Each structure stands twice: as structure tokens, then as C-alpha cells.
Structure 1
Amino acid sequence: MKVYGLIGYPLSHSFSKGFFAEKFQREGITGCVYENFPLTSISELPALLERTDLYGINVTIPYKEAVLPFLDEFSPAAEQIKAVNCICFHAGKRKGFNTDVIGFKRSLLPLIKPHHTHALILGTGGAAKAVMFVLEELNIPFTVVSRSAQPGTVAYEALDAAVIEMHTIIINTSPVGMYPQTDAAPALPYDAITRHHLLYDLIYNPAETLFLQKGAAQGAVTKNGHEMLVLQAEASWEIWNEKQ
């Protein structure tokens, strides 16, 4: 039996286990199982890595950075972002990947139009770094927005109508608006949003955050994070099973 799984803590609301169970059944994949491995400390990881039946691991909060010292190689994205959410075992080596990058890029590309020339990234965490990597690959200039102005970022207070008009892609990587605080939204001048804007929220619960509702009310194209989640999980499966 080939074992795949997810490490993180807590894992009570994880997406991956249900996704892979359904995928294995739907596609007739046998001899494989996907399990949750809730690690209360990263110090529990070495014992898990000793398992000889382990073929691939996904990594979620809070260990996307903590796993780095346990790995031998990294994909270019994982190397630059310094965060890993997929580990592949091959030829005695452990290689780290960042499939958030793959999932975000594959879900964003079909939505990009010629007038989508500049982006605002709301938030500065690990997810924001994955978004930055993709926008750099696509040669789309971006501005990072944080709660207080820092080197390389602007504060929400600096976002006026002129800034919104110029930045026709707005990506929320922050947890603002996530369940159960569904009545919150990033502090933007939403009246300046138009039908030329694309609003993308990495949150998928609720399916339509207040951020997306406000954008849709102005005629903007909107997208939540569910497809990105599915695509990054599929990318993990591709990585674990590709001929290396």
C-alpha cells in the first residue's frame, strides 16, 4: 500500500484527505491511501519520514517553512519562496515543491485580459509570496498592501481611487473575510472598482467573501480560492507520480 498524507496542526478541517479519497474512488486508483498526520511539533517529523511506505506528503500550517531543514532539494519556486507544501521522495532524496504556485497560476491564467496590467496583493504572508512568484513569471507588476506601511509595501490608507483604477487585478491573500468572520472585507475604496477589474480571493470558505461580493456589485470579474486548492492538490499528485 502506498501511503500519502498531510502534515500540519490542527488538521480537523483539512481539504486534502477528502479530496484524495474521492479522487482515488472516482479514478479507480487502487493500492493508495491518503492519511492525515497531525504533528503537534515539527520534532515528530523525523519518525514519520522513516516510514518506508510513504510516497508523498503535503504540508500545511504551521510547517510550510519548518520542514525546509529536513529536505535535500527544492523546486525553483520553493527555493525562492522558502515555503514547501509538497514533498516528494525519489532516489533516497526528499524534494520540496510549492504547488500553491502551480494552482494559483493555472487558475489565474484563463482570467487575464490585456487590460489586466498591474496588480495589488493584499497581505504579506506565505500565500502572498506564492502570488508574487506567479506575477513575476507573468511579468505583471504588483504592489503589496499591508496594514501598516513597511519597506516594499503600502498601507491600506494609501489606496485611493487612482491607485484602484491603475491596478486592475486585486488579489486577497489575507484571512480577512474567512469563516467565521464573514462580515469583514479588506479596507478598499470599492466604489472605484469597475467591470475592468479582476478580484481574486484565496479564501474558499465562504465561497463568496464580502470582498468578492463588493467587487461583483461593481461589475468586476471575481474568483475564489477553491479551484486553486483543487489544482494544487492535483499538481501534488502529478509530482508524486511523474517519471523522474
Structure 2
Amino acid sequence: MNIYGLLGRDIGYSFSRNYFSVKFKNEQLPHQYQNFDLQHIEEITPIFTDAKIQGINVTIPYKEEVIAYLDELDPIAKEIGAVNVIKFDKDRKTKGYNSDYYGFTESLKPLLNKTIKKALILGTGGASKAIAYALKKLDITYTFVSRNPDENQVNYTDLTKDMMQEFKLIINCTPLGTHPHVDNYPAIPYEFLGDNHVLYDLIYNPEETVFMKRGKEKGAKVTNGSRMLVLQAEKSWNIWNE
């Protein structure tokens, strides 16, 4: 039996394990999907040496850290600087890919309107790098928003009315609002949102976050990350089976 799995920390909630377990059952595939819940990235070595393991997804907080342990990077993953898919060849050599950007791009396209030229990316972690890559490919200018901004980034306190009206697409790449802390939300000035705004939350649990609710109240289109997760998961499966 081949084993696939998800690498991360504190991932009992895992979308991937449920998704692939159902897929394997429905398609009568002789595979198993496991969570590799590691407290430290250094614990990864036994996973790489297990010949039964054929492919790995990577989630928070290891999308960037795992790169140092890989033999090779796909050019897109290298440009993004984050990996969420690992493939093994017949010699157990590892290659890192990124399917997050694909899932985000394809799930975002139906929501776009002609007024969207600029986007705010909330958060600066591994997921946000794939989002930035996707926006660049879509010719949408982006600015990172952080509580501790680096150069060329802005703070939440910098978000003025004019800026909010200029940046019509807002993507939450932070964990704020994730179950069980469902009352949390990014501190953007929601009062300046309108019906040309699109709020995209990478969170999928809960189905509707406070970030999304507050956007809807102002007439904005909103979506969670569930469609992106399905698309990136299927892309992962394609990569493992190429």
C-alpha cells in the first residue's frame, strides 16, 4: 500500500487527510493518507526514508523551512519560495512543488471584476508567497499588510479610506478567525468596503469567517478557501502521478 500524507504542526483538523481518504475510497485506490504532525522540521528525516511514502503535502508552518531538506525545486516553487507538494522519484530523491498558486488562481478568476487592479495581502507567511505569485501572473498589483511590516509593506494602521477604495481585492492569509478562535478577524477598516470589493479568506473552517461576514455587510463578494484547497489537492495528485 502506498502512503501519502500531510506535513505540518498541530494539524489534527487537516482538510487534506479527509479529502484524500474519501478520494481513495471512492476511486477504490489502494492508498492511505496520513498526517505527519511534527513539532520540529528536523523530525522529517524518517519520513523521507520510508519507501512506502510516495508523496507529501506541506502546510503551516513548514512551507518555507522544508525547502532546505529537498533535493530539487520546481522552477515555480523556487520563484515563489514556498513548497506545499513533495514528490519522490524511484531513487527517493525529493522535488518540491507549489500547487497553492494554481488553486488560488483558478478559484479567484470567477470573482474578479474590471475594477480590480490592486490587492492587499494580509499576512506574510508561506501561503502569502503563493498568493503574490498568482496575483503577479494575473497582472494585479499587490501590497503586503503586516503587524510588523518590513520595507515595502504596510501596517494595518496605514489603511486609509483612499487606500481601501484603491485596493479592491483583499486576501486574508493570516490564521485569524480559524476554528476554534472564530471571533478573531484582521483589523482592516471594514467601513470603507463597497460592492466592488472582493474579500478572499484562505481559511475554510469556519465556512464563513467574521472577515467574510463584515465584507458581505458592505456588499462585497466573499469566499473562503475551500475551493482553493480542492483545486490544489487535485493538482498535487496530478504532480505525484506525472
Tell me the TM-score range normalised by the shorter chain. Answer: over 0.9
CA distance, structure 2, for counterparts of residue 38 and residue 185 of structure 1: 26
Displacement of 1:122: 1.1
| Contact preservation (8 Å) 2:146, 2:154 | yes
1:24-103 matched pairs, under 5 angstroms: 24-26=24-26, 28-92=27-91, 93-103=93-103
How far 1:216 sits from its partner (Å)? 0.5
The answer on whether the counterparts of 1:2 and 1:32 sit within 8 Å (CA) in structure 2 is yes
C-alpha separation between the residues in 1 aligned to 2:184 and 2:45?
40
Q: Does structure 2 retain, via aligned residues, the 8 Å contact 1:77–1:101?
A: no
Unmatched segments (≥5 aa) in structure 1: none
Q: Using the alignment, how far apart are the partners of 1:182 and 1:23 within structure 2? A: 29
Q: Hey, what's the Cα distance between the residues in 1 that align with 2:126 and 2:213? A: 25
Q: Which residue of 1 aligns with 2:118?
A: 118
Tell me, yes or no, if the aligned pair for 1:148 and 1:156 is still in contact at 8 Å. Answer: no
Alignment of 1:1-244 (within 5 A): 1-26=1-26, 28-92=27-91, 93-242=93-242
Give yes or no for contact 2:64–2:126 (8 Å, CA) kept in 1: no
Amino acid at match of 2:45: P
Identity %: 46
Alpha-carbon distance, 1:91 to partner:
4.5
- What SS is found at the alignment partner of 1:77? helix
Report how many residues are paired: 241
Matched residue type, 1:179? H
TM-score by length of 1: 0.92
Give the direction of change, closer, same or farther, for the CA distance of 1:8–1:181 in structure 2 (3 Å limit).
closer
Structure 2: stretches of 5+ with no match in the other structure? none
Distance 1:86 1:20 in 2: 14
Once superposed, which parts of structure 1, at least 4 consecutive aligned residues long, lie more than 4 Å away? none
Shift of 1:149: 4.1
